[in-house]
Amino acid sequence: MQRLNTKRRQLFLAITAASLGICNIATAQEAETQEAPDSGLAIEAPVIEEMLVTGRQQSAAQSVVTERLEEAFAADLMSSDQISRTGDSNVAVALTRVTGVTLLDGKYVYVRSLGERYSSTTLNGAAVPSPELTRNVLPLDLIPSSIVESLKVQKAYSPELAANFGGGAVDIRTKGVPDEFVFSIAMGSGMNSESDDGLTHASHGEKHNMPAQMREALNTYQGNLSEQRIGDFYKRANPTVTNAERDAFATQTNRDLLLSLNRDVEIYKKSLPVDFSGSLALGNSWDLNDDISLGAVVNFGQDTKWRNKDQERRDIGSPEDRYSKTERTSEETRQVISTNLGLDYQDMHKLQASVYHIENIHDEARIKTGFNGSNYTLAEGSEYVFYDTRMENRELEVGQLTGEHKLDQLNNDWLDTLVFDWFYSDSTVKTDVPNHTTVAGDNTVDPTSGAFISTQLSPRAAMASFEFLNLEDSVISNGWNAKVPLMFDRLELTLSGGFNYNEKSREYYGYTANIDAGGNQSSVLSGNVNDVLNSNRTTDLNNNFDLSVGGGFGTESYVAGQIIEGAYGMFDANWDETWRITGGARKETFKQGLLPVDLLDYTGNSLVKIIDDIANNPDQRYGFAQEDWYPSLAITYMNEGFMNTEAFQVRLSASETVVRPDLREMSDVVYIDTELGMKVKGNSRLEFSELTHYDLRAEWFFDSGNNFTATLFYKDIANPIESTRLPGSDDDVILTFENSLSGEIYGLEMEILRDLGAGFFASSNLTLSESEIVSPEGQGYTNSTRPMTGQSEYVLNAQLGFDSEDGQHSASLVYNLFGERLFFAARNIGTHQDAYEQPFNSLDLTYSWYATDNVTTKIKLGNILNEERVFEQVNSNGESVDILKQQVGTSFSLDVKYTY
């Protein structure tokens, strides 16, 4: 721990002022510093007063700057004020302003070009579960920025963090209880250039879970609802019935089960409403007596937006013959309720209880049309069509207790400086997909123009499928930390240690019911979805409609449990405010069990096989444990005045960590990535990745608030986990995960903040990196040596800010760019090259008008350049093919906030 002298406190204020763009304050501070260099009070008072007038929450921003300077290991931080300036509505987008951070699918964070599996996320230091069906990481778009006090991205490992550390660790710190009465209310609206008109479906906003009649039938007929199985069971229970009576009963029972499904899934066009958002905060603090104060705050927020995310796909082998277009519209509704209660005793003992409820409802409709080059070709005027409707309801409940204690009353030479903090967190997430429906059809189109002529549903097995998915993920996380500073003549030594315990359980269950329509005449299937499924055609037993169950992917469900226990010890030695050495180690025990579940196997054979493997197969992967030590060491050199700086620091650190596969990645299940619409298969043979990290960071802070940071980093990875393509046809893409032999990534990060005068300032950060991964020979990879998945050679963030002298106007122009990054490695598909996501140029503009001390109006334009997401692959003919393109659109929002 470094001591904060008067000179450095002045520096914090200057940096804070510049980072907020208050250039006149920084100038005034410089002048006053020249007049009274020895008086901190004469400088600090007017700065704080001016910043309060402009509503900048100076104290919060100052603490962020303080923490960054005090960190022994490289970390980047963002305050709530900085997030507000850029107008970012959620944590995911806000983190893209951090050096070396990029975003995947609008919600998954890549730190230093390493994917989401190489990053960890905590909420106030505690692990929380993920509501994602396809990933085991928390989607950060779920967390609104309105409840965030600050964000910390630690890029160099230290032992108090979990050992599962790759690119970085993100800690979301939420706002605590206020020191005085607070009240705010805000409302906003917005729109998107690509989302004027879109799609919806007849059951939009409705939940249609698996019918109770079908659940009962699955138990009665032991996981098989075919007419053959129903007839056999009926005959067994009623041996005197005739075969004709048996067949009639089986046909009618199967058809009744089919009719119990919600088939009101017709998709139609509509004019999309504008976005809406609203929030409310109310809190206060009370002094119960001279020693005890109590604070409480309640936050509520809700927002809704409609977006079109249309896609175009082309097959890598035959892009002119095999291609498709998808019209896709989604409604996203998010609701957040949080309550915080805090108790403070003499500023030495602090207790806080927090409860968070976050609910997200995603409802979408999509129509996909295209040609496959064989039975669907433009030349023959035959086009396939898929109608897809999906509702997904995600709920995250988090309850946390935290405490911080200073033991001044012990009257001991060293124990009275002991600081002890602890936390307990209990969180549960539930994700429910009550009815994901896909209906296949055949369009007749003009062979020349492609113009639509007529449509019918497709006479095939699984002509319509109804998917029912449920996920429940629970995490109990608790731990404590203690530190004791020991003061010597020129040495300050801090000893610290702690313990963490995380217990995770996950249950994922999926059922699929299918309507088979093979053998029907065109007259039975002609028309749209409603004409066929919601008519007497399905009730007529003379028509060939049969119900079956099973998704055709194999095992679709699993249960899993995970326990992680970690203990660490550290020392932090500061010699004469010049040299600082910080080191320690963490011992972590990891235990995991994961069992695939076949919900339709009533014989128990699959379970018997699993039990036999666990007992007799030493290579089984259903359950395993690992225990290891993870060391870390950092050396910091400090020199105030070097190169005319107020503070100069150089940090060198080295550490060893591990990255473990996600639960879903280690389960032998096949699922659909709903964002990109691709099949993904897990791999139970995945091994842990072991990482060695080296970081060298230098920081220059000047008295005007200008600063510059440069960081060199290198990571060596054994057994890196990569996303690859399974062998298969060009039009049936299935992704999976494989361990490569080795990997490495290295690069340079640079960050600068510069006061331009006249109310303007500029800040920018740039990351340049290279990576290499080596896969085993003979496994069919087009390129056994290639970049790592998701790695960009460059990532650029730039911001031009302005604050008016009267404090009533501020604006920010923010630019973000990442270089092309590997999407998946080509494998066993001839000599086609790897697929890459292309660079995305994002330009946003935010303007805020502080009409009064209480009222703020904010306008934001997003993706002004109207960029779209493009995935490119070069085929064996040397032709570059856009295998996937997705629209994003330009967005506009207007928000008004009243604060008392």
Name the packing angle between helices 6-19 and 23-35 (round to 10°): 160
Point out which residues pair with 357 in neighbouring strands: 337, 397
> Above pLDDT 90, what percent of the chain?
60
Whether 177 is in a domain gets the answer: no
Q: According to the model, what pLDDT value does residue 82 have?
A: 80
Q: What does the block give as tokens for 876?
A: 């064996």
Judgement on whether residues 294 and 368 belong to the same structural domain of the protein: yes
Whether 869 is in a domain gets the answer: yes
Q: How far apart are CA 322 and CA 373, in angstroms?
A: 5
Q: According to the model, what pLDDT value does residue 8 have?
A: 38
Q: What does the block give as tokens for 867?
A: 């960029």
Q: Using an 8 Å Cβ cutoff, are 16 and 81 in contact? A: no
Residues 499-551 have pLDDT tens digits of: 999 999 999 898 999 999 998 999 999 999 999 998 899 999 999 999 999 86
Q: What does the block give as tokens for 497?
A: 């240690």
Domain of residue 79 covers 6-171
Judgement on whether residues 255 and 379 belong to the same structural domain of the protein: no
pTM: 0.85
Strand ranges for 451-600 from DSSP E = 452-457, 464-487, 491-516, 546-549, 557-575, 579-597
Q: How far apart are CA 66 and CA 152, in angstroms?
A: 13
Q: What does the block give as tokens for 762?
A: 């500029």
Based on the structure, what is the number of domains in the chain? 3
Q: How far apart are CA 13 and CA 65, in angstroms?
A: 9
Judgement on whether residues 241 and 389 belong to the same structural domain of the protein: no
Q: According to the model, what pLDDT value does residue 542 have?
A: 93
Whether 207 is in a domain gets the answer: no
Q: Is the model more confident about 109 or about 184?
A: 184
Q: According to the model, what pLDDT value does residue 412 have?
A: 66
Q: How do 734-739 and 678-681 pair as beta strands?
A: parallel
Q: Looking at residue 11, which CATH number applies to its domain?
A: 2.170.130.10
Judgement on whether residues 239 and 151 belong to the same structural domain of the protein: no
Judgement on whether residues 403 and 426 belong to the same structural domain of the protein: yes
DSSP state of 439: E
> Above pLDDT 70, what percent of the chain?
89
DSSP state of 209: P
Judgement on whether residues 475 and 594 belong to the same structural domain of the protein: yes
Q: Is the pLDDT of residue 47 over 80?
A: no
Judgement on whether residues 586 and 656 belong to the same structural domain of the protein: yes
Distance of CA 633 to the CA centre of its chain: 30
Q: How far apart are CA 767 and CA 749, in angstroms?
A: 4
Name the packing angle between helices 227-237 and 243-259 (round to 10°): 130
Q: Which helix (H) or strand (E) holds 84?
A: helix 80-86
Could you tell me which residues come within 8 angstroms of residue 714 by beta carbon, excluding any fewer than 6 positions away? 693, 694, 744, 745, 746
Q: Looking at residue 721, which CATH number applies to its domain?
A: 2.40.170.20
Whether 183 is in a domain gets the answer: no
Cα 345 to Cα 182, 293, 294, 481, distances in angstroms: 21, 7, 9, 20
Give residue 57's pLDDT band: very low, low, confident or very high (50, 70, 90): very low
Q: How far apart are CA 766 and CA 816, in angstroms?
A: 10
Strand ranges for 124-274 from DSSP E = 126-127, 148-154, 168-174, 182-192, 197-201, 267-271
Rounded mean pLDDT, 754-779 = 89
Give residue 675's pLDDT band: very low, low, confident or very high (50, 70, 90): low
Judgement on whether residues 149 and 248 belong to the same structural domain of the protein: no
Whether 282 is in a domain gets the answer: yes
Go through 387-418 and write b for each residue having 16 or more CB atoms within 10 A of its CB, e for each that does not.
Answer: bbbbbbbbbbbbebebbbbbbeeeeeeeeebb
Q: Which residue has the tokens 């277009």?
A: 325
Q: How far apart are CA 384 and CA 367, in angstroms?
A: 10
Could you tell me which residues come within 8 angstroms of residue 86 by beta carbon, excluding any fewer than 6 positions away? 94, 97, 799, 812, 814, 844, 846
Q: According to the model, what pLDDT value does residue 46 have?
A: 27
Residues 550-563 have pLDDT tens digits of: 866 555 688 999 99
Residues 122-153 have pLDDT tens digits of: 999 999 888 877 676 788 888 888 888 889 99
Residues 151-191 have pLDDT tens digits of: 999 999 999 999 999 989 999 999 888 889 999 999 999 99
Judgement on whether residues 227 and 311 belong to the same structural domain of the protein: no
Q: Give backbone dihedrals phi and psi of 27, rounded to 5 degrees, phi first.
A: -65, -45
Judgement on whether residues 251 and 290 belong to the same structural domain of the protein: no
Q: According to the model, what pLDDT value does residue 554 have?
A: 52
Average pLDDT, the chain: 86
- Range in 195-199, 346-350, 464-468 with the lowest mean pLDDT: 346-350
Q: Is the pLDDT of residue 329 over 70?
A: yes
Which of 803, 888, 794, 662 is closest to 93 using CA atoms?
888
Q: Is the pLDDT of residue 237 over 90?
A: yes
Burial class, 797, CB count within 10 angstroms (exposed 0-12 / middle 13-18 / buried 19+): buried
Give residue 356's pLDDT band: very low, low, confident or very high (50, 70, 90): very high
Q: Using an 8 Å Cβ cutoff, are 534 and 263 in contact? A: yes
Q: What does the block give as tokens for 660?
A: 């473990």
Judgement on whether residues 667 and 566 belong to the same structural domain of the protein: yes
Whether 1 is in a domain gets the answer: no
3-state secondary structure of 617: coil
Whether 532 is in a domain gets the answer: yes
3-state secondary structure of 69: helix
Q: How far apart are CA 191 and CA 40, in angstroms?
A: 48
Judgement on whether residues 105 and 240 belong to the same structural domain of the protein: no
Residues 860-874 have pLDDT tens digits of: 999 999 999 999 999
Whether 178 is in a domain gets the answer: no
Could you tell me which residues come within 8 angstroms of residue 741 by beta carbon, excluding any fewer than 6 positions away? 719, 774, 775, 776
Q: How far apart are CA 131 and CA 506, in angstroms?
A: 10
Q: How far apart are CA 21 and CA 300, in angstroms?
A: 30
